Amino acid sequence: MPNIQIHEVGPRDGLQMEEVTVPTEVKIRWIDMLIASGVDIIQIGSFVHPKYVPQMADTDTLFRHYNRPENKPDGVVLSGLVLNERGFERGMACGVDMFCMGVSASETHSMKNTRMTTDEALERILNIARQTREAGKQVQLSVQSAFGCGYEGTIGKERVLRIVRAYLDAGFSNISLADTAGHANPDQVRDLFESVRELSADAELTSHFHNTYGMAIANCYAAMQSGVTTLESSLAGLGGCPFTSVAGGNVCTEDLVHMLQRMGQRQDIRLDALIGSARECARFFERDLPGMVYKTGPIGEQSA
């Protein structure tokens, strides 16, 4: 298996459905802890209208904070999600390192999420991606609802591959498949990623799994077996898409890193910092969160 990169999406995907607004200074404290942990990429917000996702209203402020010389982190990429041209302009103005954008393979999810059909969204996103590339920024393109849809059910593999081909044909090789509804199973994950690999052996593959039905970490393992090199995850297992029928949290970062370290990988990541950030989240929201290791402690801690 390749050495895995961790793309922490908690500050964006993890928080976007929370009803209690997290103050900017609290987000900064959590992001600082994530930076200290040594994860590779942190998605600190999305450039959406605050009317629809109020939790993301301070995204520009957060990026400006981390682009000040005294706050700029070394060795970590700061990513942001954009849905349209206005989001791209905002991201350019406040210093995003990596622009993440995507298209849903589900027509119903696409309309609910972007008010565009899949083909309309694909044309628009490719145009924005080209502008991003011309600006010298990193681009990650995703296929959302790649493994199933809470509204439509099964999504045919060819619908996903058609979008992937469009990305590859436009010269984009950093591609993520997202399990927005949490329907994926390990066999399906292997099959779909191997099919993408047949289209391009050089593609940089990322997976994004939700744990709606408890299969996320198993799906991560299957993705790793299929050549995926980046896993997206969220501290404490927070998250969920507000535009799907049944929202479930993301695969949990500290649980995922704990698994990787038990397998001999990513010993450089500070698991204690991830656990600390998850415990802070739980205290802030005053409830148990989906993650396990922040509650149990890592294997071996109890006897230490």
Alpha-carbon distances of 105 from 192, 292, 302, rounded to whole Å: 13, 31, 45
Give the pLDDT of residue 241.
Answer: 57
Exposed/middle/buried for residue 270 (C-beta within 10 Å: 0-12, 13-18, 19+) = middle
139 pLDDT more than 70: yes
- How many helices and strands (H and E) does the chain possess? 11, 8
Give the pLDDT of residue 245.
Answer: 44
Residue 267: band (very low, low, confident or very high) from pLDDT cuts 50, 70, 90:
very high
5-296 CATH fold = TIM Barrel (3.20.20)
- pTM equals 0.95
DSSP 16: T
Give the tens place of pLDDT for each residue, 42-51: 999 999 988 8
Give the pLDDT of residue 1.
Answer: 62
Domains in the chain: boundaries: 5-296
Helix (H) or strand (E) holding 113, with range, is helix 107-114
170 Cβ neighbours under 8 A, 6+ residues apart = 126, 129, 130
Give the pLDDT of residue 301.
Answer: 72
Q: Report yes or no: 216 and 251 within 8 Å, Cβ to Cβ.
A: yes
Exposed/middle/buried for residue 87 (C-beta within 10 Å: 0-12, 13-18, 19+) = buried
103 pLDDT more than 50: yes
303 pLDDT more than 50: no
Q: Which of 94, 100, 241, 252 is catalytic?
A: 241
The amino acid occupying position 102 is: G
Residue 90: band (very low, low, confident or very high) from pLDDT cuts 50, 70, 90:
very high
Give the tens place of pLDDT for each residue, 206-223: 999 999 999 999 999 999
Give the pLDDT of residue 304.
Answer: 42
User: How far apart (Å, rounded) are the C-alpha atoms in residues 138 and 151?
Assistant: 32
User: Is 100 in the active site?
Assistant: no
Give the pLDDT of residue 157.
Answer: 97
DSSP 50-94: TTT-GGGTTHHHHHHHHTSTTTPPSS-EEEEEE-SHHHHHHHHHH
Residue 239: band (very low, low, confident or very high) from pLDDT cuts 50, 70, 90:
confident
105 pLDDT more than 50: yes
